[in-house]
Amino acid sequence: MRNLELLQEVFLSLVQKSISDDEARMIMERSWFGIGSLVPVGMKMAMEIEKEVGKKRLVETIGGTVAFLEAYQEAALKKSYYLLEDETFHKLRTLLKA
């Protein structure tokens, strides 16, 4: 999922302070996200979680960004899809106190 890779790249660049908020906004506006939304990406991720690791596991992630991404990581691993970096999970846990 190229969209997920772009989100991760922008997120990590922001938390590492290698780009400014304005630069991140410009990148996102020039990408597919400038004309769409994150909903189709999240929906695709949720569908993969349900299909690969089960509906129960998907329901357990409600309200938890990190839990949702961890469940997606499980599904993605089974399908050889793009995997998020450990650093992304570490930074998210720190930011979200999860």
Dist CA 78 CA 54 (whole Å):
13
Quote the pTM value.
0.76
Domain boundaries in the chain? 2-96
Exposure b/e, 19-55, CB count within 10 A at least 16 = b: beeeeeeebeeeeebeeeeeeebeeebbebbbebbee
pLDDT in tens, 62-90: 999 999 999 999 999 999 998 999 999 99
Q: What's the gap between Cα 91 and its chain centre?
A: 12
What pLDDT digit, counting tens, does each position of 30-73 carry? 776 655 666 777 888 999 999 999 999 999 999 999 999 999 99
Which CA distances in Å does 21 have to 12, 18, 35, 40? Answer: 12, 10, 19, 24
